[in-house]
Each structure stands twice: as C-alpha cells, then as structure tokens.
C-alpha cells in the first residue's frame, strides 16, 4: 500500500542545510518525510531513493523507488550523451543509461575516469539493475599508491561482486564478493594478470553471474569460480551468496587519502601522492575504460512477476525469493519525491530536477568514500591482500574514515561492515559521490 507524505517534503528542494538522520539496518530512517536511506547511510528524498537506496535501512521497504530492470546493451564512449550527473537523474533509465559524479571525460573513444588533486575521484553507475547476467569491461587501471580503480556489481542490500585494482600493484587484480555487507575474511582473492602492467595494457574483465555460481574471467579465461553451494552458513541456514538485483559501478577513488582510516590506506598500498606523475602531466590520476557490455540472464523461474518494468523487494529478508518483477514505475516526480509518493512535486515549478539540496542529493566530504560514519570503532587485521603493504592492530574510525553506515554483525559471527571497509572494499559504498569535493 502506498503511503503519502506531507508536502513538507518539498522542502528537500531548498538550499537550506539539512542535518540528515543517520541510518543502518539496525537504525532505520524514522521520519516519513525523509524516508530513504542512501548508500551513504543518511536519510533523505529524491536521489537518496534511487540507485543505492537501501530498503532495509529505510523507513519502509517501499520507501526506495523501484529498480529499473536489466537491459542488454553494449556501451562505447564517443561522448557522454547517455550519462547524466546525479542531480539531474530522477529514475528514468530509458533516457539515461548512466549516472555519474566527479569529472569524467571521453578521449579517443574511451571513458576517462579522472581524479584531480585533492578530489574524491569519479563514479559511473549503470541505471539498469542486473539480476544475474554477464558484464564485461575493457579496462586500463589507474596507477600509484593509494589510488584504486573498481569494476563491480553492487545491490541495494549490499550484495557485491567485484574487481579492484590497487595502483601500487599493476600485476594483479583483486576479486571479492559479499552477501548483505557481511564480512568473511576468506572471500578475497588475487588474480595475476598476464603481461603485467594493468595501467598501460588493455585487458578484458568479466563477471559471469548465475543463480548457481560466479565466474571471474580475465582475457577470456576463467580465473576464479564461486559456487553458491559453497556459501551455505550452518548457523543462519542461509546461502550467503550474492543474489539480489545489482548495479554495475565503475570508479576511481583515493583510498590512500590522509583522512581515511589507516587500515584502508595500508590496503591501498600507502598514502596517495597528490603530486604524482599523472597529476603533474595531465592534471589528474586516471583510469581508462573501453567497451563495456551487459548481458541479461533470465530471472529465477519461481519469481513473482506482475510486469516487466522494475524489481521490487517484498520482504526484509532480502533473499532471491524476496524480489519480484513488477510493472511499477521507476521515475520520481521531483527531488522531493520518494517511493512513498512517486509523483510528489511533479507539477510544481519549484521542484526542478536540477535543484541541489542537502537532503535530496547525497554528497560526501571526500574522506569517507561516500559513506557517512556513526562514531563506531573496530579492531581488525588490516593485512593487504596485494602484498604491497601489511599492518595490523586496532583502529578507531572517525567521521573522516570509512564506515559502512550499518554496523551490523550477522549470526555467523562475522565482523561488522565497518571492519570490512577498513580492509578495503565494500566498494562503492565507497564512491557514490556527487561532484568533486576539495579537502
């Protein structure tokens, strides 16, 4: 049943500063006026309710807008006509395939994800969700200590399958997966890239994701396989396997930034050099993306289907069986609208989609990779899986360090999401950022 919010939600479109409520799976948004928990862990409206909106941390499951279904397509980069900045996107994936933040550019038919000095880099997120399928990207990673490139699938409930390149190690690519943000120290694994240099040489990276398994494929060769059958947890009686609709996200971000937690900096190979060779010669660190393709697989045979337009969570367990395919619209009427009232502000001139507001377009201070923090602390072994830098010990996260925004420990005794991010990836949680923010 759709609930309607008060017109006070239109205040989301003002430029007035808004002290956003923090949110997590253990502390959901409590104000029906600002019901959507963004992947930053803050409550709001508009863009907070679109890609990355966590239904488990929001006011209710239907606070987030429905997710656009998978679209099979190959992307090239003659220009950025198929991409819009986050402040201009209201959920119409048929008009914009990608949402971005930062200062991306195209050059010689490729996408250049840039990270100028003292910035938080670039994020490119596909607006069509994938519920099993195959993604492929022709990529040259960034380089340098503290600089990280990512190519991942991430769901709104934090199921994740990823590739990440640490710029201090140009011979390997890191792979990982997560289920609902739960950390398992054994999930990560490195793939050695033939020919070495991931910065100067093109390589094709693929994720082949089915209900039964995940394959990580580099240059046409399967390098790692995860079987769903091997993820069963006897304590929770669940398969802790990525299984919910996910967005393809590509990013370049400063994991080695001084304001980040020391464990994150160590994982990234050390402190970032803001006077690197590339910043001096080009004005920015960068990663290069060539052709990207998405192939959609069939949804599970027992899925509840009432349409073909959008995915929707039907239960807070957020497992595969708790996702339906519906005919529900995915487009918000304004930046003041939410899943509770999709049309709010649609016919009001003051609700321009280009109007920026603190509680309608998620932002970051640049130090947290896009995530807010909730004054939590954790103790974790921060050993780098790249072998470039290793350290261990206790760390206390602050508002300038990484935090998932949902400090939850699952029944399997796994470490909290805050601890997980200190190790490196729950990636993009990492970098759903709006614009470049100078430190």
Please state, in angstroms and rounded to a whole number, the distance separating the CA atoms of residues 276 and 95: 38
Find how far residue 256's CA is from the centre of its chain.
18
Domain map (residue ranges) of the chain? 19-65+332-344+360-369, 68-296
> Among 42, 160, 206, 419, which one carries the catalytic annotation?
160
> Tokens in use for 160?
């994740």
For residue 249, give every residue at least 6 positions away whose Cβ sits within 8 Å of its Cβ, in sequence order, or none.
Answer: 123, 124, 125, 126, 150, 151, 152, 153, 154, 427, 428, 431, 432
Mean pLDDT along residues 212-222: 98
Q: What secondary structure does DSSP assign to 35-52, as a single string?
A: -EE-TTSBEESGGGGSTT
Where does 68-296 sit in CATH, by number? Answer: 2.60.120.200
Other Cβ atoms within 10 Å of 123 Cβ, number: 27
pLDDT number for residue 428 = 32
What φ, ψ does residue 8 adopt, rounded to 5°? -60, -20
pLDDT number for residue 2 = 35
Residue 222's DSSP bridge partners are 217
pLDDT number for residue 151 = 98
Cβ(406)–Cβ(24) under 8 Å? yes
pLDDT number for residue 379 = 29
The mean-pLDDT minimum among 31-35, 67-71, 265-269, 365-369 falls in 365-369
pLDDT band at 146 (very low <50, low <70, confident <90, very high): very high
Please state, in angstroms and rounded to a whole number, the distance separating the CA atoms of residues 270 and 291: 31
- The mean pLDDT value of the chain amounts to 81
> Among 164, 320, 395, 419, which one carries the catalytic annotation?
164
Assess whether 160 carries a catalytic annotation. Answer: yes
Secondary structure tally for the chain: helices H, strands E: 3, 26
pTM of the model: 0.81
> Tokens in use for 353?
């989609």
pLDDT number for residue 16 = 34
Assess whether 78 carries a catalytic annotation. Answer: no
> Which range, 152-161, 387-396, 429-438, is most confident?
152-161
Span 276-288, pLDDT tens digits: 999 999 999 999 9
């Amino acid at each position: 049943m759709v609930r309607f919010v008060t017109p006070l939600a239109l205040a989301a479109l003002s430029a007035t500063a808004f002290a956003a409520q923090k949110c997590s799976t253990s502390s959901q948004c409590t104000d029906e006026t600002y019901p959507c928990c963004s992947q930053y862990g803050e409550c709001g409206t508009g863009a907070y309710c679109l890609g990355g909106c966590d239904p488990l941390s929001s006011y209710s499951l239907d606070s987030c807008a429905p997710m656009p279904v998978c679209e099979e397509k190959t992307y090239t980069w003659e220009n950025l006509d198929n991409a819009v900045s986050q402040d201009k996107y209201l959920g119409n994936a048929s008009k914009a395939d990608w949402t971005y933040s930062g200062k991306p550019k195209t050059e010689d038919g490729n996408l250049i994800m840039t990270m100028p000095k003292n910035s938080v880099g670039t994020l490119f997120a596909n607006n069509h969700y994938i519920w099993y399928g195959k993604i492929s990207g022709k990529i040259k990673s960034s380089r340098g200590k503290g600089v990280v490139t990512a190519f991942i699938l991430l769901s709104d409930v934090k199921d994740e399958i990823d590739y990440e390149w640490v710029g201090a190690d140009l011979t390997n690519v890191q792979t990982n997966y997560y289920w609902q943000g739960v950390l398992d120290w054994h999930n990560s694994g490195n793939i050695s890239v033939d020919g070495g240099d991931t910065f100067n040489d093109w390589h094709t990276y693929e994720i082949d994701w089915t209900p039964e398994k995940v394959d990580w494929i580099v240059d046409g060769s399967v390098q790692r396989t995860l079987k769903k059958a091997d993820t069963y947890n006897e304590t929770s009686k669940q398969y802790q396997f990525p299984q919910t609709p996910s967005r393809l996200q590509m990013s370049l971000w400063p994991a080695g930034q001084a304001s980040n937690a020391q464990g994150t900096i160590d994982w990234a190979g050390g402190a970032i050099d803001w006077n690197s060779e590339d910043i001096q010669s080009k004005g920015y660190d960068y990663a290069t993306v060539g052709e990207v393709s998405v192939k959609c697989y069939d949804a599970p045979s027992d899925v509840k289907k009432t349409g073909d337009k959008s995915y929707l969570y039907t239960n807070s367990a957020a497992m595969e069986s708790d996702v339906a395919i519906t005919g529900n619209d995915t487009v918000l009427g304004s930046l003041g609208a939410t899943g509770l009232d999709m049309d709010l502000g649609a016919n009001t001139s003051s609700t321009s989609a280009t109007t920026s507001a603190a509680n309608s377009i998620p932002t970051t201070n640049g130090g947290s990779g896009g995530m807010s923090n909730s004054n939590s602390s954790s103790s974790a072994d921060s050993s780098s899986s790249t072998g470039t830098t290793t350290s261990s010990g206790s760390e206390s996260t602050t508002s300038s360090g990484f935090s998932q925004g949902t400090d939850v420990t699952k029944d399997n005794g796994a470490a909290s999401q805050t601890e997980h991010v200190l190790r490196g990836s729950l990636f993009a949680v990492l970098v759903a950022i709006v614009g470049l923010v100078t430190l």
